[in-house]
């Protein structure tokens, strides 16, 4: 006589496995929807030079990727002092924007997108002559910050969203 052996998984164990799989899938979908997948976002890279002129700093995009100035923060350091500037956050009503793109004709434009060969300007609203700070060359008010000739002055341009550096260097004053 031939006997058949039947084996089956208990329905309870099958239901439990289905619940575990459903929870894992829900966690993965929730992770992507919550923005956890954007952790590897990279800032654009560029070589940007800077020189001080009469009423501010002139930055030139020498090479690298396209940059939108609305998405950047310029950090200036003079010795122990540091100040952050952005395309719109440091403006008061009625003031001209503190960071502006320079057009091909040398005038300023509202366009905030730059690539190789373009320039942008960081306005200084105080030329340092009334500061009382020794060696002051360029300055900003609210709060008071000056670039001086007796300290090493550096700049760093970072992308606002990722916090990563796009370019940095030393400003010769």
Q: pLDDT tens, 67-113?
A: 988 889 999 999 888 999 886 544 443 444 577 788 765 555 566 78
- Per-residue pLDDT tens digits for 125-156: 876 665 566 667 788 877 788 888 888 899 99
Q: What is the pLDDT of residues 6-55, one digit of tens each?
A: 666 678 888 899 999 999 999 988 877 776 655 567 888 899 999 988 78
Of 120, 125, 143, the residue nearest 51 (C-alpha): 120
Other beta carbons within 10 angstroms of residue 56's beta carbon come to 18
CA distances from 98 to 7, 11, 109 (A): 77, 69, 12
Q: What is the pTM of this model?
A: 0.68
């Amino acid at each position: 006589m031939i006997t058949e052996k039947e084996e089956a998984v208990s329905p309870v164990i099958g239901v439990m496995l289905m619940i575990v799989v459903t929870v894992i899938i829900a966690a993965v979908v929730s992770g992507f929807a919550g923005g956890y997948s954007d952790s590897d976002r990279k800032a654009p890279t560029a070589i940007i030079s800077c020189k001080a002129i009469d009423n501010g700093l002139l930055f030139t995009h020498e090479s690298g990727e396209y940059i939108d100035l609305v998405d950047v923060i310029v950090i200036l350091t003079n010795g122990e002092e540091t100040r952050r500037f952005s395309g719109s956050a440091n403006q008061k009503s009625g003031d001209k924007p503190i960071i502006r793109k320079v057009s091909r004709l040398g005038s300023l434009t509202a366009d905030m997108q730059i690539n190789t060969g373009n320039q942008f300007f960081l306005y200084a609203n105080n030329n340092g002559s009334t500061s009382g700070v020794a060696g002051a060359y360029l300055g900003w008010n609210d709060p008071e910050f000056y670039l001086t000739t007796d300290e090493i002055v550096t700049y760093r341009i970072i992308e606002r969203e990722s916090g990563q550096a796009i370019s940095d260097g030393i400003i010769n004053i």
